[in-house]
Structure 1
Amino acid sequence: YSPTGIQDDLDVKVMMAGSTLRKVKSRSWKKQRHFRLLEDGMTIWYKSRWAGKGHSTFSVTEVEAVREGHQSEVLLSIAEEFSADLCFTLVFHGRQGNLDLVAESPEEAQAWIQGVRKLIHRAQTMDEKERLDQWVWDWFQKADKNKDGKMNFKEVRKLLKMMNVEMNEEHALHLFTMADKSQSGSLEIEQFVHFYKILTQRDEVWKVFQDYSGDGEKLMLEELENFLRVEQQEGEQSAQHAQELIDSYEPSESAKKEGAMSLDGFQMYLCSQQGSIFKPEHRDLYQDMSQPLSHYFISSSHNTYLLENQLRGQSSLEAYIQALKRGCRCVEVDCWDGSDGEPVVYHGHTLTSKIVFKDVISTIKEYAFKASDFPVILSLENHCSVEQQTIMAEHLSQILGDMLLTTLLDGQVPQQLPSPQELKGKILLKAKKIGGFEDCLDETMTDEVSDEEDIANGDAESPTVENPPAECMNENDKISKSKLSRQLSDLVVYCKSVHFHGFDHARLHAKCYEMSSFSESKAKRLAKEAGTEFVQYNTRQLCRIYPSGLRTDSSNYNPQDMWNVGCQIVALNFQTAGLEMDLNDGLFRQNHCCGYVLKHDFMRDGNTQFTPEKPEERKDYRPLRLSIQVISGQQLPKVNQKEGSIVDPLVRVEIYGVPQDQAKEETSHINNNGFNPVWNETLNFIIHTPELALVRFVVEDYDKASRNDFIGQFTLPFTCIQAGYRHIHLLSKDGTAIPPASIFVNVSITELT
C-alpha cells in the first residue's frame, strides 16, 4: 500500500519539491519559511532556514479550507505590499489559528492552493479501509527513522509505544515473527500492515460475529438480517438494509457474490457512520421547518467578536466566521462610537481590540449561509450616538441588501412569528424599536430602561430612552425624546428588544415579535420558581439568555437549564471549549447541523403544564431505562507525549436533562492500554424526560494523584441514539474528529414496566 495516484499530480509535485513561503502574523511579522509536503502525501512540514533543528508539521486533515487572496485580517493589512495573487490562507478545524502565507510567484501560490484543496478532497472521500490504511502508513513512516522502508523488532516495539500500546514482549515478538514471512528479521510496509491486522483483531467483534454466523467464517444474508433485527433493533427494514451493508462494506468480491459478509466486512460496517451510535436519518434535515421561530432551539453565540476572553482578548472577524461555520444562527454585535465617525465593535470598557462595524457586516454577509440556509439573527448591543446609529443603519442596508429583512412578510401585524422555512436566506436585526406595528402605541418608552441586574452585568441593551408622557403621542414627538435613530429602528421587524415585566404582564400584553434578554442567573431563578409559565411564555415569544458579566474569562454556563424551559436563544461563548460547548454541539448535531432544532410538542403547546422540576406530572409521561454496556476502546490518542507514557483509560457516561435526569456513571480504569482496552461494564440510567436529555460519553486518563486528563468525548441527544452494538467516534476538546479513536458499546433502551 502507498498513497499513490495523487503524487503524479503536478500541483502535488510542486508541494513535494518544496517552496519558500512567507509566513505572516502581522504587518511587522513576516518571515520566510521552507514548506514541503512529505512522502506520505498527508503531512506538511516547514522550518525556518536558520533555526537549526526546529521544525513544525501539520496534517492536511487538520486543514478545513484554503482561502485565496486577501481573505484574512492579517493579509488585508499588508494588501498594499503583496498582491492578492501571491497570498493565501490555510484555515484549520476547531480553534487553531489560521496560517497566512505569501508565495514568491502567482504560479507557486496556485500550486499550493490547488494542491492542498486536492489533498483535502482526497482525505474527505477516503472510505474506512483507505483511512485505516493511511493511518497505519503514517505511523510506519513516523517510526521508520532511517527511511529504508523496513522495521526491525526494536523499532516495532517503539512504534507500539507511540501508538499507545503497552505490550507483553513475548506476545509482540510472537506476532512479529508471524508477520515476518521472509524471516529477514524486519517488516516491510505490507508485512507491517499484516502485523497491525493481527494486533487489532478484535475478539469482542469476533464473538458477536460468531453468535450469528453458522459456519464461523461468514454471515449469510439471512444471518446478517437476523443480527440487524435482534441486536440492532432495526425491525422491518433489516432485509433490504442487510444487502446494502454487504454492497457497501464487504471488501471480498467472492463473499459479495454469494451475498455474504466476512468478519472484515462486519468490522468495517460496525466502525462506519451507519454503525455509529448516531441515527443516520437524524443527521439529515428531518424536522418540520414551517413552525413559528419560537418553537425552535436556535444555536446562539455570545460576544461573537472575541477569539479569547472578554477582558483583553482579541476582537476578530475570524471569530464571526468560525461561529457561522459551526452553524451558529444568532451572533452578537457590540457597537460603540468610533473616533473617525465609523462605529466599532468590541467589548466596551475593556482592553479587547476593536474592529470596524461595516467589516463585521460584510463578513456576516459572506459567511451567514455557508453552513445553513436558515435565518441569522444579529443581536445588536447598541452603545452608539444617534449619528453613528444612522451610519450603522446605512451599512446594514447597503451591505446586506435583500438579505436584510426590513418588512413584515405579508404586510399584516403578525399573530405568531414566521418560520425558519419562510425566512430562509434572511438576516433579522434584534434591537430596540420605536413603537410597534399597531397604530396607536400605548407603550411608554420608560419600559426600555434595563434593570439594575443587567446594568451591573454590563449587558444592558442601551441606549436608554428618555421619559415621554404615556399617552398616544405622534411618532415625531417620541423620537425627538428618544436616543434611538429612526433609520436603525425601522430595520427591526420580528425581534424587538423589550424589558421583561413578568409572565403575567407578558401573557396579557406582549406581542409575538417582542423579545427580552435574561442574564443566566435571572433565567435560572425563573426556571426554578415558575417553570411551567416560562415554558408557556417560550411557546409564543423568543427569549435570549446571556452569560453573567462576572464571567470575565469567557467561561460558559450550562445551557441545559435554559433549554429545559424552552428558551430558544441560549447564547454561549463559542470561543471557549469545554462541556457547555459540547452540549451545544451535541444538541445541534442533528437536523443537518442547520442551527435550528424543533422543540418537542409538549414544549410548543401554549397551555402546556410541563415543568422540568416535576416531569412525572406530564400527561404523556413515559420514562425509559438506558443501559450502556461499555465494551472496549480503540486507538485512543496519547494525552502525554512523553516517551513511554501510556494512558489508563476510563469511560464516563453523563446525562444532562431535567434535574431528575442529571446523572453520571463511570467504568473502572484499565492500566497502560490506550490501544485496545476492554471494560465490559454496564452503566444504567433512568430517563424521565427523554425528549430533553443529552448523553455525553467522556474518556479520561485516570490519575490517582491529580485530576484525570481528558482524552476525548462525544455528545448527542438521547432521541438520536441507535440501540445495539455501536461505535462512538470520539472528538477532541475543540469538537473536531480524532480518527480512528472510538469506544465500542452495546446500547439498550427499554420502557420501565
Structure 2
Amino acid sequence: MNKINHCGVNSLVYGQLLQVKLHKMKRTQMILLLSPNEVRLIQMLDPQGTFSTYFDLTQISDIQQKEESQLKIINSKGAYIKLYFQSAFQLITFREGLDYLIKEANRIQKQLDSYNQIWSSALKLITQSDIDMDNKLNFKEFQFLIGELQIEIPERKLIQVFEKNQKNNQLDEATLYKLLMDITRRHELKELYQKYSSKQEGMFEDPLQAMLMTDKDLQQFYKIEQGQADYQPKRKLYNFYDFQNIIFNDENSIFQPKPLDQSQPITKYLINSSHNTYLERNQLTGESSCFAYQDAFKMGFKCVELDCWDGENGEPKVTHGHTLVNDIKFKDVIITVRDFAFYKDDNPAILSLEMHCCLKQQKRIAEILQSILGDMLFVIKDYKQEKMSTLQQLQRKVLVKYKADDQFLQEKLQLHSSTLFFAQSHDDMQYKSQEFDDHKHQANIKQFSQTLDEHHTKICRELLEITSLYAVTLKLDKKPELVWIVSSVSEDKIQDIIKKSHGKFFEYVENYFVRIYPLGLRFDSSNYDPFPSWSAGAQMVALNIQTKDLFMLQNYGMFLNSSYVLKSNQDVKMNIYVRIISATNLVWEEEKRRQEEIVDPYIKIRVAGNHDDVNKSEKWRTEVVQDNGFHPIFNYQCSIQLRHAQQDVIYFQAYSYSILGDSLLGQYCLSPLNLRTGYRIVPLLNSHFKPLANCYVLVQIKIEY
C-alpha cells in the first residue's frame, strides 16, 4: 500500500472531521472513524457527542463522485451519505483509504461467513445496540437488539431471559453468543442433519451437539438431496451450525448459472433493453444523469437510449425534449458507456440514438463516438451480409442505432431502387403489411416519402458511416435487402401486429431486429407487460428501468443469467415441486417502521410468461405467520406445471399481512431453466432490486422433465 493510502486509512482509523449529509437529514459536521469494536463499521459522531450512527462497509453498493469535492456513498438498501471535502486531494486521500478498508472488511466478512454466519451477523447488531460502547448490553440495549432481529418476545418474557443470564445487570459477549445461537438455530434442518450425520462425539445436553457430519456424509447429502455428485467438502467434520451455514450461504442459492451459446447471429437473442435510460425518475420532471446509465449497465442492460438535442457551445446534449428534465452532455454519456458498458458481461452494447440535432452537432456526435469508443465501436464491413454477425464475433463491441438514409444504403449495396427503405423519423412509426388495403398502402408510401424529403438534409454522412443498426419502418411483406436494420414499434401497435400478422412477424424477427418501446403517454414512466413481445420474438423490448415495478422484476428474472437470452422454438416442459420451508430476517425496508412494527409474513410464488402457463397456473401462497419476521416456519407445498418454460419466469415475493393492505418485504425472480434442485435459499431483493442482508427463503425444489 502506498503512502497516500496510509494517509487515507489513518484518517479513518483516528477520525476525520467532515461536512456530512445523512439520508433524509440536514447537512452537518461529523467525525468519521473506524469503529473500535467492529472493523467492518464506520462510526459517525457529532463533535458534541450527542449523536452517533454507523455505516457498514460490507453493505456499500456504490460510491459516486460528484464534482471534485463530493462523495456519495450508497448502501444496499438505497440509503446514502454525502461527504463534502475542502479539496480534491483531501477527497482522493479519503477515497483511497475508504476503498482499502472496504476491501478488508469484505475479506473479513467472507472469512467469518464461511466459519460462523450467525455470530458474524450478530457482532454488527451488538455493536449497533451497544449505545454506551462498553462491550456489554444492558436490558434496553438487549431489547433493541431483539427488535432489530425482528423477534416478537413479550417484554415480561424478555425480562426473564435477561435476568436469568445477566451479570451485574449486563450481558457479556460470551453470554450473548450463547443466547443468539439458541435463538438463531434453524430447527427445520434438524431431521435433515440427523439423517446424514454418522459420527457421535461426547456427551452433551443437546443431542445435536453430540452429532457430527463427516466429509463423506456431506458428499452423500449433496449427491442425494442436491443433485451434485461432484461436491468437494473443505473440511473433515461438520457440526450442526456448520451445516446450517452451508445451507444459508449465497453459494447455495436457488439460481444456477448456465453457459450461453454465443454462436448464433445476434437477431436470435432477446436483449436486455431500456427506454429513456438517462432518467432517474419520471419523464416530465425527473432528473437525467450519467449515473442512470451506470446503473443500467450494472443491472445488465445492453440496449440504452440517448435522446440527442442541440447543446450550448456546439456540444450536443442528452435530455427529454420539451420537459423540465435537466440536460447532460452527450460526451459524458459516451465516457460512461466506455467505462461501464461491459460491467456485467462482454456482450455487445447498443446505443439507440433518437436524433433531434442539427447537422453540425450530429457531426460532433460522430467525432465523440469515434474518439472515445475507438476500437469498441463496431463498423459494418460487409453491407451485403445475409445474416447478422454472431454474438461471439461482437463481444465487447458497441453498436450505434441511427435513422436510415435511402441514398446512402443504396450506394453501399450498389442498388438503384428508390423505395427500398423508408427512414424512421420518430419513434411512434407505422408499419405496413399485405393485410392493408391498397388505399392505406399508397397513403403510407406517400407519407414516408414526405418524411424522407423533410429529413433528408438532416442525415449526417459521418454518423451513417459508423452506424451499425439503421432505423427503418417495419415492412412484413418484403424481405429487406439489408440485415443491419432495426424497426421500432410502440407497445400498443405490436399487439395489433401480433394479432393480424403473427406468422409473418415471427419469420421477420428470425433475421431482423425489432425494438418495442412504451407509449409516450406513460408520463409516470410506468411499464408494460414484456412477455407478449418476447414470445413473438421481438429482440429489444425496452422498459423504463427507473421504475422498479412487477414488470421490471420479471425483466430482471429473464436476464439474470445473461444480458442476452437465446430464443428457443422448442418447448421445454417441466413439473416443478416446491416446498417453502421457512424464511430468515424478513424486515420492513423503512428503518423507522422496522423499529416500531413486527412483520406478519407470508410468501407468494407466481409464474409470468407464456399465457398458457400463466392461465393454467394457480396462485400459490403460504399461511401468514404472526409476529415473526426473524424466522417464520411455513412448510407449504405446491406443484407448478409449465409447458413453455423457456418463455417463463418464476418469482417469489415476501409480504407482511395487514387488513389495511399487505406490504412487500422482499422479492426475487429467475427463469425456470436456472432453478437448482435440492434444499436451496432464495436471496431476496428490496424494492430497488438490491440484495437484502441475510434475508432468505428456504425452499426444497424437485423437477421432472
TM range (shorter): 0.7 to 0.9
Which of 221, 227, 231 matches 1:227? 221
Equivalent residue, structure 1, for 2:443: none
Summarize the Cα distance change of 1:275–1:690 in structure 2 as closer, same or farther, 3 Å threshold: same
The separation in 1 between residues aligned to 2:196 and 2:157, in whole angstroms, is 30
Mark the CA change 1:100 to 1:377 in structure 2 (over 3 Å): closer, same or farther: farther
> Aligned with 2:462: secondary structure?
helix
Q: Specify which of 49, 61, 64 is matched with residue 64 of structure 1.
A: 61
CA contact (8 A) 1:300 1:329 kept: yes
Residue in 2 aligned with 1:461? none
Q: Indicate which of 499, 517, 524 corresponds to 2:495.
A: 524
Q: Say which SS state the counterpart of residue 351 (structure 2) adopts.
A: strand
Q: CA–CA distance in 1 between the matches of 2:451 and 2:275?
A: 33
Q: How does 1:466-477 map to 2 (within 5 A)?
A: 467=450
Q: How does 1:28-43 map to 2 (within 5 A)?
A: 33-39=30-36, 40-43=38-41
Q: In structure 2, what is the equivalent of residue 99 of structure 1?
A: 82
| Aligned residue in 1 for 2:287 | 314
Q: Which amino acid aligns with 2:682?
A: I
How has the CA–CA distance of structure 1 residues 414 and 48 changed in structure 2, closer, same or farther, with 3 Å as cutoff? farther
Q: Is the 8 A contact 2:116 2:242 kept in 1?
A: no
Structure 2 regions of 5+ residues with no counterpart?
200-207, 431-446
Return the letter of the residue paired with 1:15.
L
AA at the equivalent of 2:103: H
Shift of 1:98: 7.5
Within 1, Cα distance between the matches of 2:525 and 2:454?
36
In 2: Cα distance, 1:559 partner to 1:547 partner: 10
Give the direction of change, closer, same or farther, for the CA distance of 1:137–1:452 in structure 2 (3 Å limit): closer
Structure 2 residue 625 is matched with structure 1 residue 673: no
Tell me whether 92-101 or 125-134 shows the greater mean CA deviation: 92-101
Match of 2:513 among 526, 530, 542: 542
Higher mean alpha-carbon deviation, 735-744 vs 35-44, is at 35-44
CA distance in 1, matches of 2:508, 2:52: 57
Quote the Cα distance in structure 2 between the aligned partners of 1:188 and 1:569: 58
Q: Residue 297 of structure 1: SS of its match in structure 2?
A: strand
Instruction: Choose from 736, 739, 749 the match for 2:690.
Output: 736
1:693-713 deviation digits (Å, cap 9, x = unpaired):
111110011111x22111111
SS of residue paired to 2:193: helix
CA contact (8 A) 2:76 2:691 kept: no
2:11 is aligned to: 14
Superimposed CA distance per residue, residues 257-307 of structure 1 (whole angstroms, 9 cap, x where no aligned partner): xxx43222211211123322112x43xxx1121211111221111111111
C-alpha contact 1:22 1:102 (8 A) present in aligned 2: yes
* Residue 646 of structure 1 pairs with residue 623 of structure 2: no
Q: Deviations over 1:588-643 (max 9, x none)?
A: 2214xxx222223x2xxxxxxxxxxxxxxxxx655322221111111122346344
Describe the superposition over 1:220-247 as per-residue Cα deviations: whole angstroms up to 9, x where unpaired. 444433332332233xxx2x41xx2x30
8 Å Cα contact 1:66/1:113 also seen in 2: no
Moved more, 317-326 or 34-43: 34-43
Change (3 A) 1:53 1:556: farther
Q: Which moved more, 1:365-374 or 1:645-654?
A: 365-374
- Secondary structure at the residue paired with 2:417? coil
Structure-1 residue corresponding to 2:700: 746
In the alignment, does 2:704 pair up with 1:720?
A: no
Aligned counterpart for 2:123 among listed residues 123, 137, 142: 137
Equivalent position of 1:617 in the other structure: none
Q: Shift of the alpha carbon at 1:118?
A: 2.2
Q: Deviations over 1:475-502 (max 9, x none)?
A: xxx9995431222222212x1110012x
Provide, for residues 28-55 of structure 1, a one-character-per-residue CA deviation record: whole Å limited to 9, x for no partner: x9975543343333333447769x9677
Instruction: Give the corresponding residue for 1:187.
Output: 171
Structure 2 CA distance, aligned partners of 1:161 and 1:488? 60
- Answering whether residue 190 of structure 2 is matched by residue 206 of structure 1, we say yes
1:197–1:176 distance in 2 versus 1, CA, 3 Å: farther
> What residue is the counterpart of 2:246 in the other structure?
269
Give, in angstroms, the shift of residue 658 of structure 1: 0.1
Contact 2:428 2:489 in 1 (8 A): no
1:357: which partner in 2?
330
- Give the TM-score of the pair, scaled to structure 1: 0.80
Asked if 1 retains the 8 angstrom alpha-carbon contact of 2:403 and 2:424, the reply is no
Q: Which residue of 1 aligns with 2:309?
A: 336
Kindly indicate whether the alpha-carbon contact (under 8 Å) linking 1:650 and 1:699 is maintained by their aligned counterparts in 2.
Answer: yes
The two structures, once aligned, show a CA RMSD in angstroms of 3.2
Q: CA separation of 1:683/1:178 partners in 2, compared to 1, >3 Å: closer, same or farther?
A: farther
CA contact (8 A) 2:424 2:471 kept: no
Distance 1:92-1:323 versus aligned 2 partners, 3 A rule:
farther
Q: Which amino acid in the other structure matches residue 690 of structure 2?
A: T
Please report how far the alpha carbon of residue 430 of structure 1 lies from its aligned counterpart in structure 2 after TM superposition.
0.4
Deviation readout 1:528-553 (Å, 9 max, x if unpaired): 44444433322211211111111111
Q: 1:406 to 1:46 in 2, by over 3 A?
A: same
Question: Cα deviation per residue 1:551-577 (whole Å; 9 max; x = unaligned)?
Answer: 111112222232222222121222222
Q: Which runs of 5+ in 1 are unaligned?
A: 1-7, 251-255, 456-463, 470-477, 603-619
Which residue of structure 2 aligns with residue 146 of structure 1?
A: 132
| Contact 2:272–2:540, Cα closer than 8 Å, also in 1 | yes
Amino acid at match of 1:193: Y
Q: How does 1:649-664 map to 2 (within 5 A)?
A: 649-662=601-614, 663=617, 664=619
Deviation of the 1:363 alpha carbon? 2.5
Whether 2:106 is the aligned partner of 1:124: answer: yes
CA apart distance, 1:661? 1.7
Partners of 1:487 and 1:649 in 2: how far apart?
59
Normalised to the residue count of structure 2, the TM-score between the two structures is: 0.85
Matched ranges for 1:76-91 at <5 A: 90=73
Structure 1: how far apart are the matches of 2:224 and 2:30? 58
Alignment of 1:625 onto 2:575: yes
1:291-330 alignment, distance < 5 Å = 291-330=264-303
Distance 1:171 1:219 in 2: 35
User: What is the CA distance between 1:94 and its match in structure 2?
Assistant: 7.3
Report how far residue 417 of structure 1 moved.
0.6
8 Å Cα contact 1:497-1:514 kept in structure 2: yes
* Contact 1:445/1:465, CA 8 A, preserved across alignment: no
> 1:182-213, CA deviations, whole angstroms, 9 ceiling, x for partnerless residues?
x5553212321221111111111112112333
- Contact 1:23-1:102 at 8 Å conserved across structures: no
Identity of aligned residues (%): 29
Asked whether the 8 Å contact 2:653–2:668 carries over to 1, the reply is yes
Q: Matches of 1:150 and 1:627 in 2, distance apart?
A: 47
> What letter matches 1:262 in structure 2?
N
Bigger Cα displacement from structure 2, 538-547 vs 390-399: 390-399
> SS where residue 406 of structure 1 aligns?
coil
2:543 alignment counterpart: 572
Q: How far, CA to CA, are the matches of 2:77 and 2:495 in structure 1? A: 30
Letter of the structure 2 residue corresponding to residue 188 of structure 1: D
Alignment partner, residue 405 of structure 1: 378
Which residue, out of 349, 364, 367, partners 2:340?
Answer: 367
Answer yes or no: is the 8 Å Cα contact 1:638–1:674 preserved in 2.
Answer: no
Change (3 A) 1:660 1:480: closer
CA–CA separation in structure 2 for the residues paired with 1:155 and 1:46 = 19
1:598 is aligned, of 559, 566, 580, to 566
CA contact (8 A) 2:77 2:589 kept: no
**CA offsets, 1:677-719, max 9 Å, x none?**
0011112221111112111110011111x22111111111110
Q: Note the alpha carbon deviations across 1:508-532, whole angstroms, 9 max, x for none.
A: 3353211101111222333344444
